[in-house]
Amino acid sequence: METIQMLKTLCQANGVAGCEDGALTAAETICKDLGPCRRTVHNSLICEVMKGKEGAAHLLLDAHIDEIGLTVTHIEDNGFLRVAQCGGVDRRLVMASPVVVHTAKGDLSGVIGSVPPHIQSGEKKNPKIDEIWIDVGMSGEEAKAQIELGDKISFVGPFTEMENNLVSSKAHDDRCCCVAIIKAAEQIKAYWEEHHLEPISLTVLLSAQEETGGLGAQTASFETDPTQAIVVDVTFGTTPEIADKHCGDLNKGAMIGMGATLSRRMARKLIEVGKEQNIPYQVEVMGGGHTGTNADGIVKVGAGIETCCVSVPLRYMHTPIETISTVDVDNTAKLIAAYAISELAR
């Protein structure tokens, strides 16, 4: 499947943290020819791409499949829904947004209501999440008959193709990275088969609940027990307002993470193969002893897993118009595949 179609399929599927089933179903369809897939107890998807002999190197490729959203906390007698956030929802951007409420009886379209500016007081122009409401067009009796407390709510963000290889959608964080590691795994597997090499173990992990703390990646990496892990997530893409913050430029390749908890050796190897094979890359310094990605959990699983972080630059993070470059996704896949072949092919 072409990159653009994979992105559209995954990003437009729904999978709020803790309720990733829609996105997982879409991912299982994409991965069906890559290797056997299974879901963990915490609803991460593990795809066993290659299985090496005992003692063989085992490379884990991780990207999280969950997206930010909301969850129903209360149903008013007049049918309006009160909510809490699932992940880091930017409350400046939610007002007047279209949403989908996911219930056991089916999906419901809704909108996040707002007070008209004519009657707003200053302090209510940017209400807190627990002060907003969702209108699904139902009476209280109808809403309570179909909607349950705890039902998840996703934002609507259409897939839009732009100029210069850019595409906008909801859930590029982190579905564009899911696409990157799936494509990397395809390239690695094809190389091993073409050259009849002794298989390594290669696992693709599309992990759940990163936006709510990283539970999925930490437990699944314990289960799969890799010797190395490459975590792929998004990072801040350059825009006029943050051009001086050492962000990543779109269309200039993935960002290779340098941080205290990350493997300096793996990062240097990624840089080396990028130079040798003319695969564009950028360098991202991740200070403060953490990365804000699944790498923070994976690196300390068991006796410790050698881990590095590769990031795709993304504009407008945690909004329904997240914007990335398809070329960056393809080059991220190429860089990871080149690393695996250079590092592990014997």
The residues, any chain, with a CB within 8 Å of residue 276's CB and separated by 6 or more, are 338, 342
SS3 281: strand
CB atoms inside a 10 Å sphere around CB 153? 27
State the DSSP H helix or E strand holding residue 52, giving kind and residue range, or none if neither.
none
Q: Convert 101-122 into a string of H (helix), E (strand) and C (coil).
A: EEECCEEEEEEECCCCHHHCCH
CA–CA separation, 192 and 261 (whole Å): 30
CA distance 296 to 190: 30
Rounded Cα gap, residues 227 and 331, in angstroms? 24
Q: Are strands 228-236 and 58-64 parallel, antiparallel or unpaired?
A: parallel
Active site residue 210: yes
Task: Identify the H or E element spanning 84.
Answer: strand 81-86
44: nearest Cα among 67, 61, 20: 20
Of 67, 186, 210, 284, which is the active-site residue? 210
Strand, helix or coil at 212? coil
Report, as residue numbers or ranges, the catalytic residues.
210
